[in-house]
């Protein structure tokens, strides 16, 4: 077990931010396809999940500004949790990214398989803000993993490594928040119009 842990730390030590980003992106896409498949195979389960998500978010406001505020705040909380979860052996971001990918695929699959939206409309409802929001969330995950990487393989005392990792994570989280701000504007003001859901 000790040798396995050392092997994991060795692999992590040589992982660059770009590689971590690529791995998390692949994990998101794989999870999205699994969610899509699950929606077709278990429409009842997909419907239950979609209804729970809708209930948790509530009915969208006719005021785009209120929707923007709700979307942006929710995404900041999610990105922050993903980053912080990285200190738990770097596993937290893997779980959150997988879960979010699965939900995106499940919702898209449910909307299409039940005839609630055409494939074009599903894409128009996801892509405009998704091309900014998804990389932003993944970037938060990269920050979390780099935080743990610094803790486990960095130089100096434990406290110094923790602080150094936190600084790296916060820098990436700051970029993530900026991207999420842009994504929230698109989702609140642009996506509903071009997807025909206003």
pLDDT at 92: 96
Banded model confidence at residue 12, pLDDT cuts 50, 70, 90: confident
> Between helices 119-153 and 2-13, what is the axis angle to 10°?
110
What integer is the mean pLDDT of 140-150? 97
Answer whether residue 5 shows pLDDT above 80.
no
Instruction: Give the three-class secondary structure for 132.
Output: helix
Among all chains, which residue has been given the structure tokens 């692949």? 26
Tell which residue, 105, 57, 63, has the closest CA to residue 77.
57
Average pLDDT, integer, range 68-75: 96
Percentage of the residues of the chain whose pLDDT score is greater than 90: 80
* Closest by CA position to 11, among listed 99, 97, 89, 92: 89
DSSP secondary structure letter of residue 117? S
pLDDT at 195: 84
Stretch 193-198: mean pLDDT, rounded? Answer: 79
Residue 14: per-residue pLDDT: 73
Q: Take residue 38 and report the two structure tokens written for it.
A: 């699950």
pLDDT at 198: 58
Report the range of poorest mean pLDDT among 14-18, 76-80, 190-194: 14-18
Beta-carbon contacts of residue 134 (< 8 Å; ≥ 6 apart): 28, 104
- Cα–Cα distance measured from residue 5 to residue 132, given in angstroms and rounded to the nearest whole number: 35
How do the domains of the chain map onto residue ranges? 2-194
Lowest mean pLDDT among 7-16, 103-112, 188-197: 7-16
What is the average pLDDT value for the chain, to the nearest integer?
92
Which pair of structure tokens corresponds to residue 20? Answer: 């971590």
């Amino acid at each position: 077990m000790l040798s396995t842990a050392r092997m994991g730390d060795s692999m992590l030590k040589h992982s660059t931010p770009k590689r971590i980003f690529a791995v998390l992106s692949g994990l998101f896409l794989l999870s999205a396809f699994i969610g899509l498949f699950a929606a077709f195979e278990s429409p009842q389960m997909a419907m239950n999940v979609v209804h729970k998500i809708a209930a948790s978010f509530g009915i969208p406001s006719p005021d785009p500004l209120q929707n923007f505020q709700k979307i942006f705040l929710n995404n900041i909380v999610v990105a922050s949790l993903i980053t912080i979860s990285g200190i738990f052996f770097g596993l937290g971001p893997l779980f959150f990214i997988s879960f979010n990918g699965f939900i995106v695929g499940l919702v898209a699959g449910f909307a299409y398989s039940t005839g609630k939206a055409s494939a074009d409309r599903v894409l128009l409802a996801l892509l405009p803000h998704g091309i900014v929001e998804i990389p932003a969330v993944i970037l938060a995950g990269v920050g979390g993993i780099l935080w743990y990487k610094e803790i486990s393989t960095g130089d100096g005392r434990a406290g110094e490594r923790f602080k150094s990792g936190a600084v790296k994570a916060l820098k990436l989280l700051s970029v993530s928040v900026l991207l999420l701000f842009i994504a929230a504007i698109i989702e609140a003001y642009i996506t509903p119009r071009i997807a025909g859901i206003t």
